[in-house]
């Protein structure tokens, strides 16, 4: 089968996904309306239909960086939740199944100072955090999201996974509503985290709204492409919003001369000693002649080895 030439370098779109739309809906729209020559397309981390905010979509090989986005770029969310209620979905898109009508909630938790809540949550939850995906999340089982299974009456329980909570900031507390900004590792389910917050305070809790505000330091919702600016009819206008992948992941750049470039494209290894002052484990590779981004290398046993070659479908093994 003949391959169509990719006209663009690896690029990322910072898109604002509206609530009540799936991440796949966004990718499908862009796939249909981007100009010709964008190559393969994919997103970096599902955002649940209930939530809104930053959804990163990559083209021209950028989606091959998915694991690196998840590993190196924490995500920041603004969660607004309601204390004293619990729903099966972890949000108020359905009716509560349990309500806390205790005096402790009404007379004690309702009067807690904002600063006290923040201090207690930070003491308990900052750092490593074990969490299993919520049954109404977009985590996958046998190729389907858990929320699809749950809506068919099938509850899939997955094992808890180690996550990390980098920061917790209580933005507002107007009982029974608690607004919390959290910065967490990729894969953390904030509806579950908020329920755990509420449980630690001594009550129930469910989300009212959730906004993914940023991924890393470069991709923020204030710079996202809102829906009215999404591409239409394959026009080039949207390309002005695209971000080169090496601006998103902060790896050191290595510039290769013509001979080195040929070696890299053929899967060759380089001695570390050939490059001065290397920092980190991964390195962007750029052509000195064309200035184009060629791919990614990694360190192993005193060598730099190709990890991703944007001119090839092959990936090296770590």
Contacts for 90 with CB less than 8 Å, ≥ 6 apart = 134, 136, 191, 192, 194, 195, 206, 207
Q: Active site includes 48?
A: yes
Omega before 119 cis (within 30°)? Answer: no
Is the dihedral angle over the CA atoms 117, 216, 36, 306 positive or is it negative? negative
Cβ-count burial 169-202 (b if 16+ within 10 Å, e if not): ebeebeebebbbbbbbbbbbbbbbbbbbbbeebe
Which one is catalytic: 25, 48, 67, 313?
48
3-state secondary structure 246-282: HHHCCCEEEEECHHHHHHHHCCCCEEHHHCCCCCCCE
β pairing state of 303-309 and 293-300:
antiparallel
CA distance 187 to 46: 9
Contacts for 287 with CB less than 8 Å, ≥ 6 apart = 255, 256, 261, 294
The catalytic residue positions are: 48
């Amino acid at each position: 089968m003949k391959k169509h030439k990719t006209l663009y370098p690896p690029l990322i779109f910072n898109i604002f996904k509206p609530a009540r739309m799936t991440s796949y809906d966004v990718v499908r729209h862009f796939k249909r309306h981007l100009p010709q020559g964008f190559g393969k397309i994919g997103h970096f981390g599902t955002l649940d239909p209930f939530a809104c905010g930053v959804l990163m979509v990559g083209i021209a090989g950028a989606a091959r960086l998915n694991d690196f986005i998840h590993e190196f770029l924490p995500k920041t969310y603004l969660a607004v939740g309601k204390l004293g209620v619990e729903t099966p979905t972890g949000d108020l898109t359905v009716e509560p199944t349990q309500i806390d009508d205790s005096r402790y909630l009404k007379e004690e938790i309702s009067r807690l100072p904002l600063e006290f809540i923040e201090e207690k949550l930070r003491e308990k939850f900052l750092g490593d955090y074990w969490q299993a995906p919520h049954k109404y999340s977009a985590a996958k089982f046998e190729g389907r999201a858990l929320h699809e299974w749950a809506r068919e009456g099938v509850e899939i329980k997955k094992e808890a996974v180690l996550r990390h909570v980098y920061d917790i900031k209580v933005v507002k507390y107007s009982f029974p509503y608690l607004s919390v900004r959290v910065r967490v590792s990729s894969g953390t389910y904030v509806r579950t985290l908020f329920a755990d917050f509420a449980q630690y305070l001594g009550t129930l809790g469910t989300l009212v709204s959730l906004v993914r505000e940023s991924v890393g330091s470069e991709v923020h919702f204030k710079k996202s492409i809102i829906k009215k600016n999404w591409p239409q009819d394959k026009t080039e206008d949207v390309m002005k919003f695209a971000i080169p992948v090496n601006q998103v992941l902060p790896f050191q750049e290595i510039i290769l001369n013509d001979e080195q470039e040929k070696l890299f494209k053929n899967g060759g290894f380089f001695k570390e000693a050939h490059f001065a002052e290397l920092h980190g484990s991964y390195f962007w590779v750029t052509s000195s002649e064309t200035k184009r981004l060629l791919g990614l290398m990694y360190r192993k046993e005193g060598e730099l080895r190709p990890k991703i070659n944007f001119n090839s479908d092959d990936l090296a093994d770590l």
